[in-house]
Structure 1
């Protein structure tokens, strides 16, 4: 895993688009309204939030990792966070290349994220996903995250329900 670079943009765009198609094929109404798009990814890169998973010198995955308070997680319903800390890492826009599907790389990618930021003294991690995105829920739970409640995200000019998870490593 490494910080994403501008030269990774084409590969990231393909990964996001293929993830969008995969979600649609699974009947999951996530990422179907134009989010995330190239503007979103360019902003991630500009803000130094983008990271890529590299396999055999190819970009195999993409994620946006935001350190510090994330407005998406300010308000939580039907539950609560384990703490009120604003010193956490939020994991967004997690996607893997369809070329590597079925190789358990999603689990490894999340583990790499956790390890990288734990080494930077981060012990609180948050992530969310669509209620019907069972594959992502399996990855999240498989890495020790626990469902904490519901958050809402803006996707295509509307608020959408997402299940919110948290992992505390302290």
Structure 2
């Protein structure tokens, strides 16, 4: 059976499903011994705010929500204060809060979702994608490496250093 993945803007009615996915991801990070997402963030208010600002996106499989992320264009003030150097100083897309449903782990869906984010960037004529992750999120760091993201330095969120990455997208003809 062929999966019908779609990537679309999240709606307010999606919050309960998104929150279940995020709660399980928060718990997974805790069980892995991570400090990421262990400080009350993200939470349902953050998701609602994402959706109201039209930056919340879901990955779906035949209408079922299986992943969540926030995608912004040129909107990450902390990135201006990188300790290191970005590859470009051009417009950029940034994504945060990547979470995949417990039932769909290990299927490469974070990579698929990041592919959709890169497509979204190109559709908006933006050729740089930036992201960051916790120093102990080895799974995400491995995904960044596999997808050609370059480690650029450190950025700080809520007092914690995070590894910052950038990928310059090829112009698809």
Where on the TM-score scale, by shorter chain, does this alignment land: which range?
Answer: over 0.9
Where does structure 1 differ by over 6 angstroms across 4 or more consecutive aligned residues?
A: none
Q: Which residue of 1 is the match for residue 12 of structure 2?
A: 6
Q: Does the alignment pair 1:134 with 2:131?
A: no
Distance in 2 separating the partners of 1:141 and 1:123: 18
Structure 1 spans left out of the alignment, 5+ residues: none
Alignment of 1:35-54 (within 5 A): 35-54=41-60
Provide the aligned length of Structure 1 versus Structure 2: 164
Alignment of 1:1-170 (within 5 A): 1-77=7-83, 79-85=84-90, 87-154=91-158, 159-170=159-170
With the length of structure 1 as denominator, give the TM-score of the two structures: 0.93
CA shift, 1:57, in A, is 1.6
Cα-to-partner distance string for 1:55-114 (whole Å, 9 max, x where unaligned): 12200000001111411211011x2011223x1111101111111011111111111111
Distance in 2 separating the partners of 1:69 and 1:96: 23
CA shift, 1:122, in A, is 1.1
Distance in 1 separating the partners of 2:88 and 2:124: 19
Question: Contact between 2:18 and 2:68, CA under 8 Å: does it hold in 1?
Answer: yes
With the length of structure 2 as denominator, give the TM-score of the two structures: 0.91
Structure 2 spans left out of the alignment, 5+ residues: 1-6
Question: Contact between 2:133 and 2:141, CA under 8 Å: does it hold in 1?
Answer: yes
